[in-house]
A = this chain, B = another copy of it.
């Protein structure tokens, strides 16, 4: 079976010619990342993803993580892969330089993280969550706590986890009940049960650093009484050794639909020693710092799964011989199924969705870097507003698309897709969690229509729409029929997004319930329209390079074909999403729950 091959060509094209790598690597603090350095990083990452992580993906699914006497055994090969991953410096790319990280821009780290997710989603979760924990500690903890934990977490010697969920507190963290009792030495005694803790226990490293939400005795009810604690598995000694075992243990692992190699732990804190991060009762705000990054990371999982599922389906469709394609002149009686129009349509849907979600995610990564490093305060704020607007779109839309694409991947395989050995089914099973964890699509959508569009009268979205609206006009005057067709479809999709944005901006203050009833439609509309904008930009560059005789003609022609397909096949949905959003709230409201 073919292993994952990173789409280096498309990654580089988007980085360099669509989202402006050259502008990111002139930002203060990002100057070291010259073009050839980026190329080298991507090539090395592609090797590691294809040669080390991808071959472990199937066995990880088949064997899964197991628990015996409180100790987790990850599937064969995973521990060694993690060791190599850390040794090769892949664990600390984005971590702060102050604690030994490489501090690379998000725009460089993003394609690399995409590769890990394509090659082995279950493996990727461990470094992703460690990075999130590093960011939260670095953001809010005392210098002493940072010094005690961050160097070993940044190096990958120790891993990090996020402990939010409890059986009664899933999406609603106000219901968190875990308790923290102050101790004379300034530490806290932590008790409670946490569920769904990804890599809550593992056999990769000598220590695990848990970030735990809990209530300090006497804290107010609701989200304003939640504090954040560092609770290490072993209490580090001053010599840097892991130290004494803490009173936290993994009591069971969940039996999940997918990502079997990732141990999803039920954790029991039984009077464990914990250290308060930052101020009391500010835990949720600190956790959101790492959740924003984690949400972007999960959105990227949608890109990863789409790419991997597409590659597998395309390779299958090129080899599998069945039937004579309809309406293809001179087609043989038994042709590769990629020649059948419906199979081609499915593959183009998969490919164009992978490319559109990728381009939008990279665009957000570039904005993230500008929001952090741009010298101008106003530009930083402008970029931050766009990042805040688009992260729920990247998270919600890319993962919803990833599930669709993984499901199409099974369909392309026919009956063989339903057989586990083929590998196509794993992608759907793995992908299925991505629209749920780090906030469901509904929660992303409510964040988008509420905090991001409703409360500011749609200002940031309208600014983005103004920017995007310039493109169709430019494409109309290009003289290139493909670009003109793409521009026309994009124009219609942007009109739908504009109409929907106006409707939300107007209605949200008085009827947030009607808006919430259609918020997922708006999220998808925003995703497809913004994805269309990215694809149209890519197509424009491709056409220009082709006309100038630059670049790889076959890649550029493929980009034009895929962008045109996306415009013709995916963008026409936009109007339906707007229509259902605007016209559908009443029938949800009218449905008393007793009638459902």
The interface of chain A, by Cβ under 8 A from chain B, is 165, 168-172, 174-175, 195-196, 222, 254-258, 314, 318, 320-323, 325-328, 333-334, 336, 338-348, 351, 403, 407, 410-411, 414-421, 425, 428-429, 432-433, 435-437, 440-442, 445-446, 450, 511-520, 554, 557-558, 561-562, 564-565, 567-569, 572-573, 575-576, 579-580, 583-596
Are B256 and A418 in contact, with the CB atoms below 8 A? yes
Residue with the highest number of chain B CB atoms closer than 10 Å, among A327, A334, A338: A327
Do B442 and A415 touch (CB < 8 A)? no
Give the residues in chain B near A514, CB-CB below 8 Å.
327, 341
Partner of A568, one of B341, B343, B583: B583
User: Shortest distance in angstroms between A395's beta carbon and chain B's nearest beta carbon?
Assistant: 14
Compute how far the CA of A305 lies from the CA of B258 in the bound complex, rounded to whole angstroms: 20
Q: Flag if A593 contacts B513 (CB, 8 Å).
A: no
Tell whether A338 pairs with B593 under 8 Å between CB atoms, given A257-B429, A565-B587, A587-B569.
Answer: yes
Most chain B CB neighbours (cut-off 10 Å) among A175, A257, A314: A257
Residue of B nearest to A329 (CB): B513
CB distance from A553 to the nearest CB of B (A): 11
Known: A341-B516, A436-B414. A596 touches B348 (CB 8 A): yes
Chain B residues whose CB sits within 8 angstroms of the CB of A414 once the complex forms: 170-171, 436, 440
Interface pair A593/B441, CB less than 8 Å apart: no
User: Which one, B321, B516, B583, B590, contacts A342 given CB within 8 A?
Assistant: B516
Q: A586 — which chain B residues lie within 8 A by C-beta?
A: 568
B591 near A348 with CB under 8 A, answer yes
C-alpha spacing A211/B580, complex, angstroms: 48
Q: Indicate if the CB atoms of A345 and B520 lie closer than 8 Å.
A: yes
Give bound CA distance, A321 to B170, whole Å. Answer: 9
Q: In the assembled complex, how far is the CB of residue A8 from the closest CB belonging to chain B, in whole angstroms?
A: 17
Query: In the complex, how many angstroms separate the beta carbon of A339 from the nearest chain B beta carbon?
Result: 6
Contact between chains at B587 and A561 (CB < 8 Å): yes
B415 touching A196, Cβ below 8 Å: yes
A-B contact pairs, 23 of them (CB 8 A): A165-B415, A168-B321, A170-B320, A171-B322, A171-B414, A174-B333, A257-B420, A325-B513, A327-B512, A341-B519, A341-B585, A341-B589, A342-B446, A342-B517, A344-B591, A346-B442, A554-B595, A561-B590, A562-B595, A564-B590, A565-B591, A568-B583, A569-B580
Known interface pairs A344-B588, A417-B436. Does A326 touch B573 (Cβ–Cβ under 8 Å)? no
* A572 contact from B321, B416, B576, Cβ within 8 A: B576
Q: Which of A336, A347, A446, A590 has the most CB of B within 10 A?
A: A590
Determine if B442 and A340 form an interchain contact, defined as CB atoms under 8 angstroms apart: yes
CB nearest neighbor in B for A410 = B432
Tell me, rounded to whole Å, the shortest Cβ–Cβ distance linking A551 to chain B.
15
A558 to chain B, nearest CB (A): 4
Check A256–B420 contact: CB distance below 8 A: yes
**B418–A595 touching, CB < 8 Å:** no
- Inter-subunit contact B554/A594 (CB<8 Å): yes
Contact across chains for B580 and A419 when beta carbons are under 8 A apart: no
The CA-CA distance from A149 to B475 in the complex, in Å, is 69
In this complex, what residue of B is CB-closest to A433? B418
Q: If A318-B593, A342-B445, A593-B339 touch, does A323 touch B513 (CB 8 Å cutoff)?
A: no
Hey, which chain B residues are within 8 Å of A328, CB to CB?
513
Nearest first, the 6 A-B pairs at minimum CB distance are A327-B513, A342-B442, A341-B517, A172-B322, A558-B595, A341-B516
Inter-chain contacts of A258 with B (CB < 8 A): 418
Known A170-B415, A172-B322, A256-B419; judge A595-B341 contact (CB<8 A): no
A339 / chain B contacts, CB cutoff of 8 Å? 593
B345 near A588 (CB under 8 angstroms)? yes
| Residue in B432, B446, B561, B569 whose CB lies within 8 Å of A595 | B561
Given contacts A171-B322, A172-B334, 11 further A-B contacts (CB under 8 A): A326-B446, A326-B450, A336-B593, A341-B516, A342-B516, A343-B442, A418-B433, A429-B429, A568-B586, A572-B579, A572-B580
A323 to B564, CA, bound (A): 43
In-complex Cβ contact of A558 among B169, B196, B596 (8 A): B596
Residues from chain B with a CB closer than 8 A to the CB of A416 are 170
**How many whole Å from A573's CB to the nearest CB in chain B?**
5
CB-defined contacts of A342 to chain B, threshold 8 Å = 442, 445-446, 516-517, 519-520
Partner of A411, one of B172, B196, B441, B515: B441
User: How far, in angstroms, from A197 to B440 measured CA to CA in the complex?
Assistant: 39
Known: A314-B596, A420-B255, A575-B575. Contact between A518 and B345, CB under 8 A?
yes
Residues of B within 8 A of A519 (CB): 341-342
Most chain B beta-carbon neighbours within 10 Å: one of A428, A436, A437, A587: A587
